[in-house]
Structure 1
Amino acid sequence: MNVELQKIGMVAAALGVALIVAFILTPVVKVLAQKVGAVDVPKDNRRMHDHPIPRMGGLAIFLGFLISALVFVQITPQLRGMLLGAVIIVVLGIFDDIYSLRASFKFVVQIVAALIAVCSGNIIQIISNPNVFSSNPYWDLGWLAYPVTVIWIVAITNAVNLIDGLDGLACGVTTISSMTLLVIALVVGEPQVAFLVAALVGGCLGFLPYNLNPAKIFMGDTGSTFLGFVLAVISVQGLFKLYTIISFVVPFLMLGLPIFDTAFAFIRRIAHGQSPMHADRSHVHHRLIDMGFSQKQAVAVLYIISAILGLSAVVLTTGGPEKAMLLLLALCAAGAVAGRIFLHNNEKKNGAVPEDRPSGDGKEDGE
């Protein structure tokens, strides 16, 4: 019991150190971003803000995470590889926030960073077989482990980056996903993974007060790609190596929102004959804004969806797939009913009236 309490205390300390460092450094990074020209100027309808806002705030998250990880986590080849890859991602993000680099160049550098992490031992070697009727419960990926892991890391890196479209969205969703992974790591007895994730949660929580609507600073690609990269590598260390059903399902539940949004965006763009990397205004958060939600409401809805998926992942880990599926269905049904009630009230507030009454000026609540 004392050992468990000590472990939880260390996790809390790792979280606290990262939180304090990120919280203190964010104003410093804001001044630095303004001096080097890392400022987001609204120039198209994808931007939700109407005035220039400094970005590159992810540097504060990274420094909080790095200091906490170096203090509380045992240095292993896997950790060194992850940190080296993360440094490359952060440096790339800083230059992108200042100079707006080409997508193709960023993609190549992301692959290099992923390869460094993979060659250091962060590899998805065995996953559970998604075919529950198969006599073989596990898949040994063999030589495919290397390309599969690289694809996973690069995909999640970009998935988190793509949902960074509203104040506090990517940071908050990453916090929820990280807390899910933290609970799972404690439940299955992975203390090193728990310390790492706690440092990531702390860095996000320290930055979040400055990033909530109305945001004083954006994390930029410096933060969103770093968060995606670290989450992807930690999931390889802490989830995929578990020889159970959760090794396949849990990472996809935990990161369900960014994975769904990215997959839907790629399918939509390819169907329209566009490049998958072509920017547009049809992400989930944009659709919520177009439906009449304010930024705060849209972010709250996506936080709830992420929390539902995260809670389902935790239940799947501790209670089995049947309980997790029932919980997911029940929460989705409750969310659908609540959403319908909200939309009905929102329509009435915005001027929608019954058909047997004269209609007034319908004013859409857009931002």
Structure 2
Amino acid sequence: MTINLEFPLIGIVAAALVVALVVSLVATPVVKNLAIKMRAVDIPKDNRRMHDHPIPRMGGLAIFLGFILSVLLFLPLDTQLRGMLLGACIIVVLGIFDDIYSLKAMFKFVVQIVAALVAVLAGNVIEVLSNPNVFSSNPYWDLGWLAIPATVIWIVAITNAVNLIDGLDGLACGVSTISSMTLLVISLVISDGPVAILMAALAGGCLGFLPYNMNPAKIFMGDTGSTFLGYVLAVVSIQGLFKLYTIISFAVPFLMLGLPIFDTCFAFIRRIAHGQSPMHADRSHVHHRLIDMGLNQKQAVAVLYIISAILGLSAVVLTTSGPVKAMLLLLALCVAGAISAKIFLGNNGKKSDAGDVPAEKERPQ
């Protein structure tokens, strides 16, 4: 595939990213004070929490403000975009109330379905899926009447998948940044300007918030941010990836969002196997397991960033160079990552006698 980057588009994309970044960076301290006044504060009360003192949440509002202002400045409002932004507003309002009042899971689930339907009825629909059977004469499946329920399931699933990995300082925000940058690069390669601008705005909002959210976090994004990021990534992936009539339209979204998808599927399977509800909260997510292995928060987040980056890079190569090179790259990076992890964890174990004070402080007693 020939890479054809249009420089005017790159300029607009860069401007969208910078605007969102600056707005988010400036708005975060204001949102932090607002969260404290509204008592949207995360108080550690179980062993799933990795912090040991109250921290304001609702920081995702700053990301949303940066994103929405950038989008309104640099993109015309067509029907699909209006539907996505209206649905995003519903998700953000739901998240704000949840961060303040801790709403019931079923109520949140119903509102998320409504928000997904708003986007779907505006035209954000997965109408076809590429056929994963490469030996079939039919290159893709026409979903027909299944298009609407399939799209709603995708949007709600990704919305909650990003929310579920929001368990360490900077994790969900950083992973979402990597995913949005992945789709941004792919959009530039295929000259899909609107999707590139949307992802630049989302990445900029995340990057502006990230300095306040890295360990030790001064503010959490809360459900306001994590569900908003998942929602936007899900809807934009429909616009930018599922519409491609090739094998990559099946694989790329799952690579781009590989970490949250894997963690959510693994969590659901584990809970069902133990006779629990799939929505039952526990302390067995991937990030919890890394902490239990002896890593501190910064180390665990760095490992998961690297995994997300590997998957994202593989998605870009798959789009630009085809499946064979992408699989070879993914395999090589996984082997290198496994060797590095073994060396790193071995050294980490040797140092454990001295103790890791920050990690012990983060872990509830």
**TM-score, reference length from structure 1:** 0.96
Please, which of 320, 330, 333 is the counterpart of residue 331 of structure 1?
333
Q: 5+ residue gaps in structure 1?
A: 352-360
Alignment of 1:16-31 (within 5 A): 16-31=18-33
Alignment of 1:149-298 (within 5 A): 149-298=151-300
Percent of aligned positions that are identical: 80
Question: What is the rounded CA distance, in whole Å, between the counterparts of 1:225 and 1:19 in structure 2?
Answer: 19
SS at match of 2:126: coil
Question: What is the rounded CA distance, in whole Å, between the counterparts of 1:241 and 1:3 in structure 2?
Answer: 20
Q: Which amino acid aligns with 1:132?
A: V
Runs of 4+ in 1 over 4 A off after TM superposition: 361-366
The match for 1:357 is none
Q: 5+ residue gaps in structure 2?
A: none
* Deviation per residue, 1:185-240 (Å, 9 max, x gap): 00011001101110000000000000000000000000000000000000000000
Question: What is the rounded CA distance, in whole Å, between the counterparts of 1:39 and 1:131 in structure 2?
Answer: 49
The match for 2:41 is 39
Question: What is the rounded CA distance, in whole Å, between the counterparts of 1:215 and 1:33 in structure 2?
Answer: 14
The match for 2:347 is 345
**TM-score, reference length from structure 2:** 0.96
Q: Which amino acid aligns with 2:234?
A: A
Q: Which amino acid aligns with 1:44?
A: D
Question: What is the rounded CA distance, in whole Å, between the counterparts of 2:55 and 2:335 in structure 1?
Answer: 38
State the number of aligned residues: 358
Are the equivalent residues in 1 in contact too, given 2:296–2:356 (CA < 8 A)? no
Please, which of 56, 78, 91 is the counterpart of residue 93 of structure 2?
91
* Deviation per residue, 1:276-323 (Å, 9 max, x gap): 111000000000000000100000000000000000000000000000
Question: What is the rounded CA distance, in whole Å, between the counterparts of 2:256 and 2:173 in structure 1?
Answer: 14
The match for 1:305 is 307
* TM superposition shift of 1:362: 9.2
* Deviation per residue, 1:145-186 (Å, 9 max, x gap): 100000000000000000000000000000000000000000
Q: Which amino acid aligns with 1:59?
A: L
SS at match of 1:139: strand
Gap change, CA 1:271 and 1:144, over 3 Å in 2: same
Please, which of 13, 16, 19 is the counterpart of residue 15 of structure 2?
13
The match for 1:66 is 68
SS at match of 1:127: strand
Are the equivalent residues in 1 in contact too, given 2:5–2:189 (CA < 8 A)? no
**Which protein has the larger Cα radius of gyration, Structure 1 or Structure 2?**
1
* TM superposition shift of 1:127: 1.4
* Deviation per residue, 1:89-141 (Å, 9 max, x gap): 00000000000000000000000000000000000001110111211111111
Question: What is the rounded CA distance, in whole Å, between the counterparts of 2:107 and 2:12 in structure 1?
Answer: 40
Question: What is the rounded CA distance, in whole Å, between the counterparts of 2:212 and 2:337 in structure 1?
Answer: 29
* TM superposition shift of 1:363: 9.0
Question: What is the rounded CA distance, in whole Å, between the counterparts of 2:159 and 2:71 in structure 1?
Answer: 20
